[in-house]
Amino acid sequence: MIARDLIGYGEFPPNPAWPGGALIAVNFNLNIEGGGELSLANGDDVSEGMLNDIGVGAQPGRRVPLVESVFEYGSRRGAWRLLDVFRDFSIPVSVLAVARGLEQNPQLARACVARGHEIVSHGYRWIDYGNVTQDIEREHILRATEILTLLTGTRPVGWMTGRPGPNTR
């Protein structure tokens, strides 16, 4: 049996003491994952089956244009539309960027930095790290950090693995 904390703070949560007496804090994140997902175009043997709105599971050995289109919309238009909204309302954003995605779309990386948003690494690839060895995961961490630093001119301020494995910390 594995121990889990299902109680948390219970009825006595800590007081976060937000600035100005605010009762809530809101954090906006822009996830950039397109180009880093499982895809035959990336040399994978299966197409992505996660986080698409069309209900298509992973497809071994074949491309799924509908799934690719979902991911491509984000990098081709969706992210740009959101960046415009955030600019129009002066909202700072944490950009959770998959390095392989921005590597294929460096102009999007430059725009995020030019508009003053912080870059958080979202990994090298948008893959499930559940069956990835610790050595490969470590290599992906180093590679993602190197690529994002090169593309943005600054080291990522944080990290968020989308589909963590047993070695993810």
122-153 pLDDT, tens digit per residue, is: 999 988 899 899 999 999 999 999 999 999 99
Does the residue 68 lie in any domain? Answer: yes
Largest distance between two CA atoms of the chain: 55
Q: Which domain holds residue 107?
A: 26-159
What CATH number has the domain bearing residue 104? 3.20.20.370
- In total, how many domains does the chain have? 1
Does the residue 100 lie in any domain? Answer: yes
Residue 106 has what pLDDT? 97
Give the pTM.
0.85
Which amino acid, 98?
Answer: V
Does the residue 131 lie in any domain? Answer: yes
Mean of the per-residue pLDDT values for the chain? 92
Residues with Cβ < 8 Å from 156, sequence gap 6 or more?
97, 119, 120, 121, 144, 145, 148, 149
Confidence of residue 167 (pLDDT cuts 50, 70, 90): confident
Does the residue 105 lie in any domain? Answer: yes
39-82 pLDDT, tens digit per residue, is 998 899 988 877 666 677 778 898 888 888 888 999 999 999 99
Does the residue 18 lie in any domain? Answer: no
Does the residue 145 lie in any domain? Answer: yes
Which amino acid, 123?
Answer: G
pLDDT (average), residues 93-100: 98
What's the CA gap between 144 and 80, in Å, rounded? 22
Does the residue 139 lie in any domain? Answer: yes
Does the residue 164 lie in any domain? Answer: no
Tell me if 163 sits within 8 A of 130, measured CB to CB.
Answer: yes
Selected residue with higher pLDDT from 5 and 92: 92
Residue 51 has what pLDDT? 65
Share of the chain above pLDDT 90, in %: 66
